[in-house]
Amino acid sequence: MTTWRPMPPEAYQRPQAKRNENAPVAVGPWRRWGAEPGEQKVYGLHIWSASELLAAEFPEPPWVVPGLLPVGLTLLAGRPKVGKSWLALQLVGAVASGGVFLGQRAERGKCLYLALEDSPRRLQGRMRLQNWASGGDADFVTVGQAGDLLPLNGPQRGAAQLAIMIRERGYRLIVIDTLSRAVRGDQNDASVMAEGLSPLQETAHANGCAVLLIDHHNKTAAATGDGGDGLPAFDATLNILGSTAKAAIADALWGLYRTPGRAGATLAIVGRDVEERQLLLRHDPVTRIWQSEGTADEVRLTESRKAILAVLKQLGPSPLTAVARALGQDKGNTHRRLQDMVSEGLVILRQMAGIPLYFLPGQELATTHTTATTPTTGTTGTTAL
């Protein structure tokens, strides 16, 4: 185990320089306000004209895990004992080895895990359960070993020390578990949270790395509604504990939810450059690894298709109205799903006596009538063709 020696607080003080508040200076594609003529000063107002901004070409946002974890500050929040730390450790293992995380290949890089609530023994046990390889490029700080680094917003300027560690050691991913251990002050105070989190976000962007900060959900955290087909929907922004400044500063939010009576969990993801999605996760009880079963929308679509196939198997060749009634769904959504299944060859569509009928491959199409039985009521109806 190596010991990193922090620099004294005065080493992080910004130098003061004489500034002319009225002199704009052209620097690069923008004009910098508040610097002496010809001075390449970093403390000024950056101004883009509309033409410059429209004409500029920017690279695509960088990722640590494509589509899931961008460069910047991400909050991973959830109720106690829901599996946040297991998920974070799994993420570190994937990035440190260039492995797969929730179905996506991670960009390999060096990792730092501040496990501020775990002993080395507990961490070792979890790593062994997750089948960590000994060659993983990751460093760990466990409970009681952070020294003057904590609190990050304390008088020892821990956030500035952490920034230097990130730059000198070239970390690609930093996990801080948990926020309440790392940042001192009232989490309901927006100014306190901004002071504690803003340096982390700035450091992440300046060094091209991701900082994942583990936090808790408030007591009201729950599904915001039914997303369809019995699957709940969640809002990762609403459920953050304390001040909304947390969500405002973070580049992305991950919310990990377990629903009573359901196996697995839901990972709700939202962010500035991240496509909003909800991943359905399954937890392996042996390795403690989370596996993605796809997005909630994908699972809903799969379940909807299974329901349509079951209805057509029972009803036989049927018009749209009969299928929608048997499913308990509106005709518009049922029609779109049926048309997609027809285009993929899963369902056949034929016109009989001017009436479009849907049926499964291998089913015989009657030439006189169809009998549709609604599973929920047991009633039968005859449709003349």
pLDDT tens, residue by residue, 159-217: 999 999 999 999 999 999 999 999 999 999 999 999 899 999 999 999 999 999 999 99
Cα(323)–Cα(306) distance, rounded to whole angstroms?
13
Tell how strand 210-216 and strand 171-177 pair up. Answer: parallel
Fold classified for 300-384: Arc Repressor Mutant, subunit A (1.10.10)
Predicted pLDDT at 218: 85
Tokens of 252: 């992305």
Under CATH, to which class is 63-283 assigned? alpha beta
Cross-sheet strand order for the sheet of 110-115: 138-142, 110-115, 171-177, 210-216, 72-78, 252-257, 265-271, 277-283, 290-295
Which residues pair with residue 270 across a beta bridge?
A: 253
| Cβ neighbours for 212, distance < 8 A, ≥ 6 positions apart | 69, 74, 75, 76, 88, 91, 173, 174, 175, 176
pTM for this model (two decimals): 0.70
Is 95:107 a contact under the CB 8 Å cutoff? Answer: yes
- Each residue of 58-97: b (16+ CB within 10 Å) or e? eeeeebbbeebbbbbbbbbbbbeebbbbbbbbbbbbbbbb
Predicted pLDDT at 293: 87
Helix axes 120-129, 84-97, angle to 10 degrees: 70
Predicted pLDDT at 222: 59
Q: How many other CB atoms sit within 10 Å of the CB of residue 19?
A: 15
The boundaries of every CATH 3.40.50.300 domain in the chain are 63-283
The boundaries of every CATH 1.10.10.10 domain in the chain are 300-384
Predicted pLDDT at 76: 97
Predicted pLDDT at 70: 96
Cα(266)–Cα(233) distance, rounded to whole angstroms?
9
Residues of the chain with pLDDT under 70: 1-44, 221-232, 260-262, 299-301, 364-385
Predicted pLDDT at 379: 44
- Each residue of 285-320: b (16+ CB within 10 Å) or e? eeebbbebeebbeebbbeebbebbeebbeebbbbbb
